[in-house]
Amino acid sequence: MTVEKVPARLIWALGLTQIVGYGTLYYSFGVLAPAMAEDFGISTDFVFGLLSGALLARGALAPKAGRWPTATAPAA
């Protein structure tokens, strides 16, 4: 099995797009949360609490999700 070296530019480009993507997501959530709260008839604090809960759940499940492809991959 040969391992190909990934170009450093590709890694930097992926990292930059990840940072911009997360920044855009979090900024837009802060702008849209009051309208979302009004539409759903809940408080803005509750909307941000749901975001916090979702981030906590994602962090808690990330290790298991990271191991899953390796555990279920077919043998080479």
pLDDT tens-place string over residues 11-38: 999 999 999 998 898 889 999 999 999 9
* pLDDT score, position 71: 83
Percent of the chain at pLDDT exceeding 90 = 63
Length of the chain in terms of residues written: 76
Whether the predicted pLDDT of 63 surpasses 80: yes
Whether the predicted pLDDT of 76 surpasses 70: no
- Domains of the chain, residue spans: 8-67
Backbone angles phi, psi at 70, to 5 degrees: -70, -40
**How is residue 43 annotated by DSSP?**
-
Helices (H), 1-76: 8-40, 44-72
d(CA 46, CA 33): 10
d(CA 18, CA 50): 22
